[in-house]
Amino acid sequence: MRCKVLMTVTDLCESCKINEMNVVEESDDPNQPYKLCDQCHKRLLKRSLRPIEWYNLAVIHSPKKFLLHDDFYEEDGEACQPEEDVIVNKKDKAPTLRDVRNDLESLLDFSITRWFLEEDVIKELKKYDTLTTLNYVKSRFYETNNYEVKSRLLEIAADVLGTSASAWVRELWKNYDEEFLYPLSWATASSLPTEEGLHNIFEQLKGTSEKELPIAAFTCLYRFRSSNVLDWMESTCTIFNDNWGRLAAVCFPTWERMKSWLKNGRPLSLIALDTMANCVKGYGDIYVQQFSPKILGTDKSKVDQVLNDYFQKDDVPRVKMKLTRILENKKEIFE
């Protein structure tokens, strides 16, 4: 057996990567303290890190940790409320996407330091061979215990790797960790066959409370855009909630389905009205709007009559308000 002492090399400060580390500072994650030199430690506590120091820490700890988050630093690592002057020389600048895009490891570092995984980074990641990227993503995932970093790697699986991540995603379901339900759901939507993916997620959602279910369901399921989700909603929705209409709108709802939900009464009838209203630009949110949802297969000559018939049975102000909005925007909603 090798002696541990022999294996120890001097650790460098996680922030400047130049000095030896000699301070351990607690972070929000008790399992992952900051390991720093004295100077960087002081600068961290005074929200006065240089951009490259912020960046190096964000690669390891994510930019979402309290001492690194966006109240204190811009996305290029510039301190916004430093308690002491920050002198930034050229060598202290954080890398830009241009600087890192030709090296996959550096590009993955960069992607971890972003608050959101945006299209420009996804586009650069897609230029690499997916199996090579998958191997790097997996090894980073298992190397760290950091929740945000792991989640970002799953987002990369979702947005960049697609079906080439399917074996890995199956492995993650086998060793399911509920902490990662959301990002794992996104990776599942892009990598596994719809029925298999939905089955896994529906099973997990069974344990969710009635109050939490609508937002959890939206977050896990919106990327599937599957009519199977609408079938599931019919047997699952017990209360009205805004998230049900958001979810239904992106799952290719048909006019036939909307009519049957209206006939069914509350809560499905209210969800149907919300589903239709969510097809109007400026009503839904960015997640819904990016898909430009429509109600499909509509018999347009019947819309007014069907909606007015419903109002006869449920003539409350909020129904009236929603009907007005739908009827005013019929062209945009129905196809």
- What end-to-end distance do the CA atoms of the chain give, in Å? 71
- In sequence order, the β-bridge partners of residue 35 are 24
Beta bridge partners of 12: 20
CB of residue 169 to Zn ion, shortest distance in Å: 38
Residues 322, 277 contacting (CB under 8 angstroms): yes
Do 330 and 303 contact (CB within 8 A), yes or no?
Answer: yes
Closest of 153, 160, 59, 154 to residue 119, by C-alpha = 160
Residues that bind Zn ion (CB under 5 A): 13, 15-16, 19, 37, 40
Signed CA dihedral, 262, 266, 270, 271: sign only: negative
Smallest distance from Zn ion to CB 39, Å: 6
CA distance 154 to 169: 9
Residue with Cβ nearer Zn ion (18 or 131): 18
**Closer residue to Zn ion in complex, CB, 33/267:** 33
Task: Quote the least distance from Cβ 14 to Zn ion, whole Å.
Answer: 8
Residue number, 89 or 209, with CB nearest to Zn ion? 89
- Output the smallest distance, CB 281 to Zn ion, in A: 49
Tell the smallest beta-carbon distance from residue 294 to Zn ion (Å). Answer: 55
* Shorter beta-carbon distance to Zn ion: residue 15 or 298: 15
Dist. CA 291–CA 297, nearest whole Å: 17
Least distance (Å) from Zn ion to the CB of residue 221? Answer: 44
How distant is the alpha carbon of residue 213 from its chain centre? Answer: 17
**Closer residue to Zn ion in complex, CB, 20/196:** 20
Q: How many CB atoms lie within 10 A of CB 304?
A: 13
For residue 95, give the 3-state DSSP assignment: coil
Please say which residue, 13 or 134, places its beta carbon nearer to Zn ion.
Answer: 13
What residues pair up with 36 in beta bridges, in sequence order? Answer: 23
**Residues 256/217, Cβ–Cβ less than 8 Å:** no
Nearer to Zn ion, 40 or 279 (CB): 40
Name every residue whose Cβ is closer than 8 Å to that of residue 25 and which is 6 or more positions away in sequence: 33, 34, 36, 41, 44, 45
Q: How far is the CB of 57 from Zn ion (least distance, A)?
A: 10
